[in-house]
Amino acid sequence: MPDIIKNAEDCAREIIEGMGFELVGVDYGREDGLMCLTYYIYSEQGVNIDDCERVSRAIEPAVEEKDPVCGEKYCLCVSSPGERPFIPLLKEKRKNLQAHCLLLAQVWL
């Protein structure tokens, strides 16, 4: 399963980021009897249903071509992370990045 997640992230990350969103996670699991490959996207301005639809349409060709699920049938979904566990991780990642940038700036000055 980790390979599926990593491959799914790799084939869509550049497209998602090029559209101004951050890819905060990918999930692959059974939902209502169907396997779903779900991409969670984030933006400081928020994410609405139209954003999810645009991203889904944009990444679909790349995901189909790279086939991260190895030929299995699945449903492609794009969602905002909402209050899922990704949000605390995202905030921590940003906090650490800001601390590193500040440290580097101090070293260079």
User: Helix (H, G, I), strand (E, B), or coil: what is residue 104?
Assistant: helix
Polymer length in residues for the chain: 109
- Is the residue at 109 inside a domain? no
Distance of CA 82 to the CA centre of its chain: 13
Residues spanned by the domain of 55: 2-82
Residue 92 placed within a domain: no
Quote the Cα angle for 88-89-94, to 5°.
100
pLDDT digits (tens, 9 = 90+) for 41-79: 999 898 999 999 999 999 999 999 999 998 889 999 999
Number of domains in the chain: 1
pTM above 0.85, yes or no: no
Amino acid 43 reads S
**Does residue 88 form part of some domain?**
no
The answer to whether position 87 is within a domain reads no
CATH classification of the domain holding 24: 3.30.300.70
89 Cβ partners below 8 Å, 6+ apart? 24
The pLDDT, as a whole number, for residue 88 is 54
Alpha carbons 69 and 1: distance in angstroms, whole number: 9
**82 compared with 62, residue with greater pLDDT:** 62
